[in-house]
Amino acid sequence: MGSLDFVYKNDSYLYENSLIDEEGLGQAITSHELRLHYQPRFPLRSGCSQILEALVRWDHPSQGLLLPDEFIPLAEETGLIHDLGLWVVNQACRDFRLFKSETDSDISRISINMSILQCEDTHTAQRVIDLIQRNGLSPSDFEFELTESAAIRDESAVLRCCKALQEAGAEISLDDFGTGQASMLHLSRLPVHAIKIDRAFISRVDTHSRDRTMVRHLIHLCHDMGIKVVAEGVELRSQAQMLMGLGCDALQGFYLCRPVEAKAAMSWRQRSERLAVA
Ligand code: C2E
Ligand code: CA
Ligand code: CA
């Protein structure tokens, strides 16, 4: 087993390497070892806002840059996800102020991943709103992507959190759509502005007719409900072409742009020429 691997046992993650532990992660949050990278979402229709998704990394002193899948499960397991989540919001505010100060920047929102566990905490929405306002920004500068790594235990708490954020001006999207058991239920119950169709469907949309049919109907269903559709994990020109033809509202993926540091994200528009030739 590799040094960063963990095994799932008795409902808890047991880390094989003590370098990735609760204490280390707690310190990382307070001692500025976390970083945000950004991946753009390219709108395909007028009226769709231009958005950058914030993706957290841990610049570990001895292990180098760790991806979220290597420490978000630990953060959720230990409850550190709440502090980590507020760090992400605060850093995204700072970066967004930088983006806005660029006179030719046309980035309208930052999207932030939010664990369902954060939403279940009754204080999360107000803490997030206060933090955004303390940074001189508005919740309407943000979208929150609900990631469902754990089953919802308290649906009414999640609904309250989403409503509070939405009423303050933020938008809510459902991430990894199509893979979670509760995806359809959330679509009907939560105040959702957009869904992000999971890469599992997008990777076969150009080659498998069943996946294509599902994506086409999902787009129609969402549009009937007034919900936007984003395709994530677009890696090929053929997938981009197919999704444009199917009526997707926006695309995101390595074909268009990989996640990059904040400074590099400001020049992301250069990549949109790829869509023009898609
Ligand atoms: P996600 O929200 O679904 O984010 C997309 C992930 O897919 C990112 O991985 C991104 O780098 C990767 N990706 C984007 N385009 C492509 C593509 O074309 N092909 C492939 N193969 N991959 C692509 P990353 O950054 O490792 O993030 C993994 C997950 O960690 C995220 O999945 C999200 O669920 C979670 N995450 C990231 N940042 C945060 C955060 O601040 N808070 C929370 N709670 N979760 C986060
Ligand atoms: Ca996401
Ligand atoms: Ca996703």
Per-residue pLDDT of the chain (278 residues; tens, 9 = 90+): 333 343 443 334 445 555 689 999 999 999 999 999 999 999 997 655 589 999 999 999 999 999 999 999 999 999 999 999 999 999 999 999 988 887 566 788 999 999 999 999 999 999 999 999 999 999 999 999 998 766 777 889 999 999 999 999 999 999 999 887 667 888 888 999 999 999 999 999 999 999 999 999 999 999 999 999 999 999 999 999 999 999 999 999 999 999 999 888 776 654 555 565 45
In the prediction, which pLDDT does 3 show?
36
Helices 155-167 + 124-134 axis angle, to 10: 20
Closest residue by Cα to atom 23, ligand 1, is 233
CB of 178 sitting under 6 A from ligand 1: no
Task: Work out whether the CA dihedral 45, 97, 54, 80 comes out positive or negative.
Answer: negative
Query: Which numbered atom of ligand 1 lies nearest the CA of 254?
Result: 18
In the prediction, which pLDDT does 222 show?
96
CB atoms within 10 A of CB 265: 24
In the prediction, which pLDDT does 29 show?
97
Closest residue by Cα to atom 17, ligand 1, is 233
CA of 179 to the centre of ligand 3 (A): 10
| 80 CB-near residues (< 8 Å, 6+ apart) | 22, 25, 26, 29, 74
The whole-angstrom separation of Cα 150 and Cα 145 is 14
For residue 256, which ligand has an atom nearest its CA? 1
Closest residue by Cα to atom 25, ligand 1, is 55
Closest CA to 152 of 125, 174, 127: 174
CB of 72 sitting under 6 A from ligand 1: yes
Give the residue extent of every domain in the chain: 6-188+254-270
CA atoms within 13 Å, Cβ hemisphere of 138: 11
In the prediction, which pLDDT does 37 show?
97
CB of 254 sitting under 6 A from ligand 1: yes
CB of 88 sitting under 6 A from ligand 1: yes
User: The domain 6-188+254-270 belongs to what CATH superfamily?
Assistant: EAL domain (3.20.20.450)
Q: For residue 63, what are the β-bridge partners?
A: none
The whole-angstrom separation of Cα 260 and Cα 143 is 19
